[in-house]
Structure 1
């Protein structure tokens, strides 16, 4: 798909990682009506996100398969807790005021919040006529598999936008020949390249946004 093919109105929009930047950009353009499941997590492998969707989030972030990998040094004050099955790391959910590497006091609160987000996500997959999924990082093979799994679990229509890093200050549209996926290359992290984000997201709208919408990190 070309960029112009996905630039229209959606009933809801979700980030599929691979970092908080995806959710932050959606929020900036008022395209994030509520928190997705992995908005504030590190999800380096799209293949693991595909597995997570395929498994319907079974055993996701179970305490028995999580390990503490230290402290979040980018956003000080939180532990880094990793799900070793899906290679996904929570970076915002365990403040050091209430948690230590050995004792995760807020785990039950985190798990309750996560289950709420999972149920909302599944409900939207079953009820929304058109959904957009946005992801930073992914290969053609991973995107093809993602399409296959989403086709099984999304009741109506969906589109996928995958953005990959390129070194130069330019926007590249890749012709992957996938039915539902648009693949774009941009210099993702460079602040001076915000105009590329504008080019991509400005012509996308979301029905689920409220006029009095206020975004919370913890929603």
Structure 2
């Protein structure tokens, strides 16, 4: 699938990780009317994201699976969901939570339960959905497409954005029916610069794409 084939309107557009980049770019381009499950978490392991989707979020963010991993900043704890290798670095504030007492857990769980419920509703009822994943191999994306084909009831497409030593936007032709793959420059990748250094390229990527909700 080519980039031009993604152009059009969608009932919802969701980031599938691997970090906040896709969520930030959707927000910057007015394509994110509500927060998704993966917008503000770290989800570096795509196989675990795919497993979470296949499991319909069963066991997600269960307190028994959470572990304090350190400090994401002076204001945020870094907490992992070890069942799915999801990392929460914006949700557990240091003025409320401690490494041994996640006091805000009930509120955080309720927030994500709402996001999961909306996500599942869109998968069941959305006529056309777009999913965006940054960083994924052809093997990982092949499995993701298979799982989404089972859990999404209607039409969907996947935009994969990998970061490599390229200049500009480079399309890659992977033999997957519902997948468009592009590569962007890896300038600043792995640092905070990555969230904005390719803003102009993301604007080009997402031009001609609209969300109806």
- Same fold (TM > 0.5): yes
SS at match of 2:166: coil
CA distance in 1 between counterparts of 2:131 and 2:105 reads 28
User: In 1, are the aligned partners of 2:21 and 2:195 still within 8 Å (CA)?
Assistant: no
Uncovered stretches (5+) of structure 2, i.e. residues with no partner: 187-193
CA distance in 1 between counterparts of 2:33 and 2:46 reads 23
Partner of 1:212: none
Partner of 1:19: 19
Residue correspondence of structure 1 range 1-219 to structure 2 within 5 A: 1-73=1-73, 76-187=74-185, 189=194, 191-208=196-213
SS at match of 1:49: helix
User: In 2, are the aligned partners of 1:66 and 1:83 still within 8 Å (CA)?
Assistant: yes
Give how far 1:110 is off: 0.6
TM-score normalised by structure 2 residue count: 0.93
Partner of 2:191: none
User: In 2, are the aligned partners of 1:169 and 1:193 still within 8 Å (CA)?
Assistant: no
User: In 1, are the aligned partners of 2:161 and 2:182 still within 8 Å (CA)?
Assistant: yes
SS at match of 1:86: coil
User: In 2, are the aligned partners of 1:65 and 1:84 still within 8 Å (CA)?
Assistant: yes
Pair 138,117 (structure 1): closer, same or farther in 2 beyond 3 Å: same
